[in-house]
């Protein structure tokens, strides 16, 4: 996979497409480049041993944003050495902000070829990823804020989960982090069965990873699943025909994910259309349990599956930390019998300081009166839910941000599977340890 490596304080990577999308954003937003010349722009490096707000716009500040390590210098000799295939040092240029000659860098021809070879949906996906980064805030595209020459950072959204909560959730999950071999049990053998593979792919078009996975039957499900994600990530980022990509998507969603769906060419094409639309726009939660599977397989370091079990565990852990949050995640649907029985939504409402029994009772009485007067449907649950659950158009982006932050706290940053492992933990404990905690909470509330 084509990646950019950041070395400090611990090594981490991002996809090359995300780096180039960020480069384009920086060029056009802070250096006044156009859609035609950003690729060849020689960007000032402007490395500083200072905190982020004191670093001027340049490659170093861009790298700090993209790496997530905002107060650690990034554009060092090691950075250029590690990424020489895609980022080149060049002769000094005039810094447009100070008119002084400074060191500069540019995208290599290899990086430009890579970007030009991406599909429109892949480029849109990279730009969408940029929205989750915390960029500089400026009065205009080419003007620094004047207050002490410091840059104001983005204000925290009222519906954004604070860092201390993320740390607390990661602490709760640490006891599972080294136990996934025994914990993760999502079956893979049925999806690799000859009858399933032949029904999805033709005899002459069976992917090579199928035989590779069948050849490691003695490996536990967890390790086999890691190999699966690695194989498919490489395959899905390569060029393939729409027909073949639709079969991959259908195998991931229906055969591996066990979401019911047809095996006809039309149904596979319809699924791929949904997936491509979701790659470009994550704002719709419709069929998110399906299309997020494809995204998580294709970009395992960037996305996690928005699965009902994962959401069930994550919401409960957030609620356990503080019942007054107003940023719980909407359910994608598809709960099993244990989670259906042990639904805890009402506990959240009753425990919330802005809701509680009195508010709920009055709201229900008003809803009953409205239905008696107009004969319409109840809006009680929707009205209450909207107060503390995230808007569906923002749920997936916030979900990926939270999941990546938890993963970064839970595992070493050099572990490229950390997001996937975090997803596996939350998935695995939903109808076990989390369900037991919910049961205990109901018991205590009845005493």
pLDDT digits (tens, 9 = 90+) for 332-343: 988 889 999 999
List Cα–Cα distances, 217 to 63, 188, 211, 220, 410, in angstroms: 42, 10, 11, 8, 29
The CA distance from 343 to 290, in Å, is 22
Same domain, 29 and 174: no
Band (pLDDT 50/70/90 cuts) for residue 49 is confident
What is the H or E stretch that residue 408 is in? Answer: helix 392-410
Domain identity same for 217 and 359 = yes
For the CA atoms of 188, 189, 190, 194, the dihedral, rounded to the nearest 10 degrees, stands at 130
Between the alpha carbon of residue 58 and those of residues 23, 109, 145, 396, the distances in Å are 10, 20, 16, 30
- Going by C-alpha positions, the residue among 284, 275, 212 that lies closest to residue 249 is 275
Confidence class of residue 51 from pLDDT cuts 50, 70 and 90?
Answer: low
Domain boundary among 149, 181, 205: 149
307 and 429 together in one domain: yes
28 and 126: one domain?
A: yes
| Helix, strand, or coil (residue 14) | strand
pLDDT top residue among 360 and 141: 360
Q: State the DSSP H helix or E strand holding residue 88, giving kind and residue range, or none if neither.
A: strand 87-94
Give the span between the Cα atoms of 16 and 114, in whole angstroms: 8
Tell me: pLDDT of 146 over 80. no
pLDDT more than 90, % of the chain: 41
pLDDT value, residue 437: 95
Contact assessment for residue 335 and residue 312, using Cβ atoms and an 8 Å cutoff = yes
Q: Report the pLDDT value the prediction gives residue 323, as an integer from 0 to 100.
A: 66
Residues paired with residue 6 on neighbouring β-strands, in sequence order? 12
Q: Which of 110, 132, 149 is the last residue of a domain?
A: 149
Q: What is the mean pLDDT of residues 145-168?
A: 55
List pLDDT tens digits, range 183-224: 999 989 899 999 999 999 987 789 999 988 887 665 789 999
- Give pLDDT, residue 144: 37
The count of structural domains within the chain is: 2
The larger pLDDT score, comparing residue 147 to residue 415, is at 415
Mark whether 62 and 94 lie in a shared domain: yes
Q: Which has the higher per-residue pLDDT, 280 or 39? A: 39
In the chain, pLDDT over 70 holds for what percent of residues?
A: 90
**Are 109 and 170 part of one and the same domain?**
no
- Beta-bridge mates of residue 106: 88
The strand pair at 12-15 and 3-6 is best described as antiparallel
Sign of the alpha-carbon dihedral angle for 388, 392, 396, 401: negative
Separation of alpha carbons 207 and 231, rounded Å: 10
pLDDT at residue 174 in the model: 96
Cα–Cα distance measured from residue 403 to residue 442, given in angstroms and rounded to the nearest whole number = 27
Q: Could you tell me the two tokens for 42?
A: 């020689």
| Co-location of 144 and 221 in the same domain | no
- Mean pLDDT in the chain? 85
CA atoms of 171 and 409, how far apart (whole Å): 8
* Rounded Cα gap, residues 107 and 99, in angstroms: 22
Same domain, 34 and 107: yes
**Structure tokens belonging to residue 242:** 């729409």
Average pLDDT for 118-139: 72
140 DSSP β-pair partners: 143
In this prediction, residues 116-143 reach a mean pLDDT of 67
Between 1 and 60, the more confident residue is: 60
Q: Are residues 123 and 190 in the same domain?
A: no
Give the residue from 149, 184, 214 where a domain finishes: 149
- Spatial CB neighbours of 309, under 8 Å, sequence gap ≥ 6: 336, 339, 426, 427, 428, 430, 431
Highest mean pLDDT among 222-226, 259-263, 424-428: 424-428
Determine the 3-state secondary structure of 70 from DSSP: coil
Mean pLDDT is lowest, of 193-207, 274-288, 353-367, for 274-288
Same domain, 85 and 197: no
Minimum mean pLDDT range among 180-189, 215-224, 395-404, 413-422: 215-224
pLDDT of residue 373: 86
Q: What is the pLDDT of residues 91-127, one digit of tens each?
A: 777 766 566 788 899 999 999 989 888 887 788 888 8
48: pLDDT confidence band, cut at 50, 70 and 90? confident
Is 368 found in the same domain as 303?
yes
Band (pLDDT 50/70/90 cuts) for residue 246 is: very high
Q: Which domain holds residue 340?
A: 157-447
Q: Within this chain, do residues 424 and 302 fall inside the same structural domain, yes or no?
A: yes
**CA 18, CA 68: separation in Å to the nearest integer?**
13
Helix/strand/coil for 5: strand
Q: Which of 179-193, 277-291, 311-325, 405-419 has the lowest mean pLDDT?
A: 277-291
Q: Is the dihedral of CA 137, 139, 142, 145 positive or negative?
A: negative
Distance between CA atoms of residues 95 and 319, nearest Å: 49
């Amino acid at each position: 996979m084509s990646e950019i490596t950041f070395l400090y304080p611990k090594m981490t990577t991002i996809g090359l497409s995300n780096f180039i999308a960020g480069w384009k954003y920086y060029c056009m937003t802070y250096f006044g480049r156009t859609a035609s010349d950003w690729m060849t722009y020689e960007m000032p490096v402007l490395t500083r041993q200072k905190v982020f707000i004191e670093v001027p716009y340049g490659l170093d500040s861009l790298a700090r944003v993209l790496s997530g390590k905002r107060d650690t210098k990034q554009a060092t000799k090691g950075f250029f050495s590690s990424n020489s295939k895609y980022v080149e040092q060049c002769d000094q240029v005039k810094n447009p902000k100070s008119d002084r000659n400074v060191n500069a860098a540019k995208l290599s021809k290899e990086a430009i070829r890579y970007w030009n070879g991406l599909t429109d949906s892949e480029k849109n996906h990279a730009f969408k990823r940029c929205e989750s980064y915390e960029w500089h805030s400026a009065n205009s595209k080419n003007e620094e804020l004047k207050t002490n020459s410091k840059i104001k950072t983005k204000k925290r959204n009222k519906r954004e989960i604070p860092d201390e909560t993320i740390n607390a959730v990661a602490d709760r999950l640490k006891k599972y982090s080294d136990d996934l071999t025994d914990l993760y049990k999502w079956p893979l053998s049925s999806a690799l069965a000859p009858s399933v593979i032949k029904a999805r792919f033709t005899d002459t078009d069976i992917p090579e990873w199928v035989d590779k996975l069948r050849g490691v039957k003695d490996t536990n499900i967890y390790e086999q699943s890691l190999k699966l994600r690695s194989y498919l990530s490489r395959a899905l980022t390569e060029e393939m025909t729409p027909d073949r990509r639709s079969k991959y998507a259908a195998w991931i969603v229906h055969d591996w994910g066990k979401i019911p769906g047809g095996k006809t060419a039309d149904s596979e094409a319809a699924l791929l259309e949904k997936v491509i639309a979701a790659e470009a726009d994550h704002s719709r939660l419709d069929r998110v349990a399906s299309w997020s599977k494809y995204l998580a397989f294709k970009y395992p370091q960037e996305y996690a599956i928005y699965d009902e079990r994962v959401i069930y565990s994550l919401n409960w852990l957030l609620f356990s930390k503080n019942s007054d949050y107003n940023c719980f995640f909407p359910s994608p649907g598809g709960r099993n019998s244990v989670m259906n029985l042990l639904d805890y939504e009402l506990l959240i409402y009753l425990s919330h300081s802005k809701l509680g029994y009195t508010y709920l009772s009055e709201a229900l009485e008003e809803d009953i009166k409205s239905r008696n007067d107009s004969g319409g449907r109840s809006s009680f649950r929707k009205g209450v839910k909207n107060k503390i659950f995230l808007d569906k158009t923002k749920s997936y982006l916030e979900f990926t941000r939270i999941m990546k932050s938890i993963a970064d706290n839970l595992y070493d940053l050099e572990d490229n599977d950390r997001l996937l492992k975090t997803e596996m933990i939350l998935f695995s404990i939903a109808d076990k340890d989390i369900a037991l905690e919910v049961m205990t909470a109901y018991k205590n509330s009845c005493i």
